[in-house]
Amino acid sequence: MLILKIDNCYLKRSKLYIIAILKVNFNIVIEIFKNMFVAPKNTDLLLSEAEGDNLYLKLVEQLNKDFNLANEAIDFPLSTSPAELKLQLHEKIYRLIQYKFAEYLNLLYIIDVSEDEIKKLDGSDLVILAEQVAFLILKREWQKVWFKNKYK
């Protein structure tokens, strides 16, 4: 009888211990999800999120840095508005696809845009393609800026 009580008591402690571990692990999972990067669904949302997090200037700096690394002359002034940035980036990508395709591919490589995401795009309309690629570039650059800010 005494052994049973000890076993029974031990069993109860084990259940409580397991419940406590599950609660701790659940809180850890919640914290992980809070700290996860979630990519915005479009360019406007991305730019407004960057502005809201006070990281828009860092995003512009990152774009300038990576374009220069790819030897593509572009210099977005830090005073560039989000609407202007979106338009100028779209135009630059359009011109690269149209006239300097090798440099365009090099830029995608330097920025590290996902090859799988590029392959999913429909290239039948060059204007739409350039807009979609500009979004993918912004999304990747935003990811870099977000992570640098989060884990500095």
Whole-model pTM?
A: 0.78
What pLDDT, on the 0 to 100 scale, is given for residue 34? Answer: 54
Cα torsion 36, 143, 61, 129: sign:
negative
- Phi-psi label, residue 77: left if phi above 0, alpha if psi -120 to 50, beta otherwise: beta
H/E segment holding residue 112:
none
| Band of pLDDT at residue 12, cut at 50, 70 and 90 | very low
| Band of pLDDT at residue 36, cut at 50, 70 and 90 | confident
pLDDT tens digits, 78-93: 999 999 999 999 999 9
With 0-12 CB in 10 A as exposed, 13-18 as middle and 19+ as buried, what is 118?
middle
| Band of pLDDT at residue 152, cut at 50, 70 and 90 | confident
